Amino acid sequence: MSFDIKRIAELANLSLNKEEEQTVAKNMVEILQFVNTITSLDLAHREASISSYKMDTVLREDEIGNTLSSEELAINAPKLDNSSIIVPQVIQR
């Protein structure tokens, strides 16, 4: 199994030192090995499902309800630019 741990960390916006890179790489190998064992299972006789619980999906009709006006929304906004709410940047590169 081969993958570029530095590239994966970069894509995930993570800064890893050498020790952390080795730990993450080891964990990824273990995860991929586990997933590989799942692919070897014979599931032809199994019905596909998205949940382990047998229940019908409960849907409701969309209904238009009371909404806040732009002015009411702006009361708690940290900063406004015309009708847009400006918030502090939380992810920095």
* pTM for the whole structure: 0.47
Burial class (CB in 10 A: 0-12, 13-18, 19+), 16: middle
Summarize pLDDT for 67-77 with one digit per residue, the tens.
888 888 888 88
Enumerate the domain spans of the chain: 1-43
Measured distance CA(16)–CA(10) in Å, rounded: 9
Q: Domain 1-43 is of which CATH architecture?
A: Orthogonal Bundle (1.10)
Summarize pLDDT for 29-80 with one digit per residue, the tens.
999 999 999 888 888 888 877 777 777 777 888 888 998 888 888 888 888 8
The DSSP symbol for 47 reads P
